[in-house]
Chain A
Amino acid sequence: MTAPARMELVCPAGTPSTLRAAVEAGADAVYCGFRDETNARNFPGLNFSAQELAEGVRFAHDRGTRVLVAINTFARVGDVDLWRNAADTAVRCGADAIIAGDIAVLDHVATNHKDAIRLHLSVQAAAATPEAIRFYAETFGVRRVVIPRVLSVPEITALNKNIDVETEAFVFGGLCVMVEGRCYLSSYATGKSPNLNGVCSPPEAVTYDEDGKGMAAKLSGFTIDRYAPGEPTGYPTLCKGRFNAGGKTSYLFEEPVSLNAGSLIEGLKKAGITALKIEGRQRGKGYVSEVVRAFRRAVDAVEAGGDAVEIDRILAGQSEGGRQTAGAYRKVWR
């Protein structure tokens, strides 16, 4: 498909106050979820009640911002109605789109709310080929696909030439190195997983043990990384840990980095991407305001024909602290 006139900036809203912060910082759309296991960021203190969503939608719409509701875990057998009801509630609250990955949820929305709300295909559906995307578009009327973080920019370009739905790409935040929605590493170690519980490497499974060799960060007793005395400790996310394999000790899957594809905004636009997604529904108001404001300026600069140096300068403040990568968007990542 041809590149859209103007890319949309899609921003995280973990709570009503971060929703307001993201809207005020210049988000074109915010995404959020209900306070239960129907969304993939099921943490205590996060997310929205139906009433909070309705109020959030009013606040956002008054300022020209759209609200997308993530119902992106896989419905539990015997309890599919909890997920169907979440979709019904999103419609009732006036949300602009539902982001779903489970065929059960997509089928329910397509059957019952076809003209009331847009459907976006969650990254959890792992649709990365024209055939898969066309299937979701033709079967359920999906209008936009969030594409998995395993494709390079040239691959995204080729993909967009072969489909006629919108595509959304992650530009900032977490980096899943496995195909999303098809990774069971977390449940293997802890019993809790993104698909079933909306969590990965959950905090209740984490322990830090001081031993003679330093500080061991463990997940369900499995040592995921170890730090020298005095070295700052990290969170033991399974695929960002250090392991022994083939006689080597290394960050076998991925270093403890996060995704920052800010420098690729122009490339993603040329690749036909409709929307850029910032991750971080667990993050606070201050963080969301700052990141959204920076990306707002960067996207506006790209849309105005700004050069790479200018974009880098705008986003320079976002690359301090933790290590960052452009991930699979650069082909050498593989």
Chain B
Amino acid sequence: MTNVSLTLGPVLFHWPAERLLDFYRRIADEAPVGRVHVGEVVCGKRMPFSDPCWPDVIERLERAGKEVVLSTLAAPATVRERRSVADLCGDERLVEVNDITALPARAGQPFVTGPFLNVYNEATAQFLAGRGARAICPPVELSLAAIGAMAAACPEIEFEIFAFGRLPLAISGRCYHARLHGLHKDSCQFTCEKDPDGLAVDTLDDQAFLAINGVQTLSNQVQAFCPTPETLAAHRIARLRLSPHTCDMVRVAEAYRALLDGEEEPGAVRATLAGLDLPGEMVEGYVHARPGWMTAATVD
């Protein structure tokens, strides 16, 4: 048995309001996750579509006993985007800081940091703890050993590792969905909505490699880190983050819960995940301090 918790990260993709409502209804009722992040992280232009559904989503999740965290934009730029960050930071609920912009607005109140914020060492983590950080999900390129070393030096903070989903690798001022369709970001026509798990970017030799999601670039492959409870305990990892995709996320959460509770072996959990409709091959190179695209088999 372990007391490691599951966190459902924010939806990174442009899902229509109906899809978001359906998704979170099912998460509220069925998914064994303790904490659920909601909010638009990638592109402020999508907020008019999703903002109206958050009050209902939050109420439903909280009535089901989930802890709701409000996620803020990773790269706020416009006046409206900056105002939305400040507004969210005024909420009584826990807030996920994804850009330093949010830090002053959240002064004196507890927060968590997402993988978009550069927390690479114990000194930075301790500084943020002094400002109210309660949990830190470091950038995805950090290894399990590095996160474990940070956790050992910062016992007052919960450390979370990005365990499942396409890896968020980069963010830009330029929208690649718009560029692919011959449009500009300012008149993008929201073409990213057509790709609810991101659009695959293959090499000229048709090797699966990356994926685009508006201004964001992700891995084509899906992080599927399936550690034993003992491994997590040894590295003082308190939380695993599951990043939403269109596959059966309730099943994903159940598989991870069984793993954390010692009811299933990592191999069996990998087999379960492989049977779901994942958008790419399962990888876990980063956690082993190797290139992120490497699989469990290739890192050995």
Contact = CB atoms under 8 A, between A and B. Distances in A.
Interface string A159-185: 000000000000000000111011111
Interface residues on B, range: 35 or more
Nearest to B148: A77
A224 B203 contact: yes
Interface residues of A, number: 70
Interface in B102-151: 102-105, 116, 118, 120-124, 127-128, 139-142, 146, 149-150
A107 B175 CA distance: 34
B124 A103 contact: yes
Contact of B201 (A126, A195, A252, A328): A252
A189 B124 contact: no
B76 interface: yes
A13 B99 CA distance: 31
Interface in A197-239: 216, 220-226, 239
A108 B123 CA distance: 9
Contacts of A196: 120, 141
Contacts of A246: 180-181, 199
A191 B291 contact: yes
A220 B104 contact: no
A132 B180 contact: no
B204 A244 contact: yes
B206 A244 contact: yes
A252 B286 CA distance: 25
Given A77-B149, A182-B118, A104 B203 contact: no
A154 B153 CA distance: 44
Contacts of B120: 74-77, 102, 104, 195-196
A127 B100 contact: yes
A195 B286 CA distance: 14
B101 A185 contact: no
Contacts of A332: 184
Interface stretch (B7-15, B165-173, B274-282): B165-173
Contacts of A241: 203
A212 B194 CA distance: 36
Interface stretch (B18-26, B63-71, B207-215, B257-265): B207-215
Nearest to A253: B176
Contacts of B209: 189, 222, 243
Interface string A127-141: 111111011100000
A272 interface: no
Given A132-B101, A185-B217, A187-B141, A104 B121 contact: yes
Nearest to B207: A222
B240 interface: no
Nearest to A155: B77
B82 interface: yes
A107 B292 contact: no
B202 interface: yes
A182 B116 contact: yes
What 5 A-B pairs are tightest by C-beta distance, nearest first? A150-B173, A104-B123, A74-B120, A334-B185, A188-B292
11 contacts: A77-B150, A80-B121, A80-B122, A102-B120, A102-B121, A103-B123, A126-B99, A182-B139, A182-B171, A185-B217, A196-B141
Interface of B: 74-77, 82, 85-86, 99-105, 116, 118, 120-124, 127-128, 139-142, 146, 149-150, 153, 167, 169-176, 178-181, 184-186, 199-207, 209-210, 212, 217, 219, 285-286, 289-293
